[in-house]
Amino acid sequence: MPRPRKKRRREVKRVPRSDAMLPEFDRRACPEGLVTRRQLREEGLSPGGHGPVAVLRCKACTFLPDQACIHPTRAWLYNVDLARPKRTPTLAQEHSLDRAMAARQTCPQCRRRYYFCLPLKTLGSCLECHDGTPADPSTYIAPPAKHLLAA
């Protein structure tokens, strides 16, 4: 005799929509001015210290308008008006960065600037000045060292 099949229902966690949560919008009915993080980035913007203001519901939830979307495929929506431009380093910041790198890459004895950081703490100079190991001319800029910008 066949054993009675165990009834096993897939448990579906359902949360009714409520005002306590962030407003939710379906993909087609998303109001203007609300964009996802990726859309912000494409415009060169960042959330500007503001959290998401709404939820973009996942595709499956389009057919369950009275349920809250709690699925990982939902997306956070940000307010474009609160967004700020992404920070990019200024030329002055880049110059100070270059100065810091120059200090670590320039040999105090021969004044060559290498493309790598020198063991200044242990040897105090480049290898060539330390024990005569000839340095590859393609690994340094002969003095006076020019400034290298990161970008």
Which one among 71, 99, 104, 147 touches Zn ion, defined by CB under 5 A? Answer: 71
Is residue 126 a contact point for Zn ion (CB under 5 A)?
yes
Nearer to Zn ion, 142 or 150 (CB): 142
In Å, what is the CA distance from 134 to each residue of 31, 46, 116, 120, 139? Answer: 66, 49, 15, 17, 11
HSE-CB for 122 with a 13 A CA cutoff: 4
State yes or no: residue 109 binds Zn ion (CB under 5 A): yes
Nearer to Zn ion, 93 or 109 (CB): 109
Nearest approach, Cβ of residue 142 and Zn ion (Å): 11
- Beta-strand relationship, 24-25 and 54-56: parallel
Stretch that binds Zn ion, among 32-40, 77-85, 88-96, 100-108 (CB under 5 A): 100-108
Residue among 75, 60, 63 at smallest CA distance from 24:
75
User: Measured from the CB of residue 93, what is the shortest distance to Zn ion in angstroms?
Assistant: 29
102 binds Zn ion, rule: CB under 5 A? no
Secondary structure of residue 125 in the 3-state scheme: coil
Token pair, residue 135, equals: 């340095």
User: Could you say whether residue 107 binds Zn ion (CB under 5 A)?
Assistant: yes
In the complex, which residues of this chain contact Zn ion (CB under 5 A)?
58, 61, 69, 71, 107, 109-110, 125-126, 129
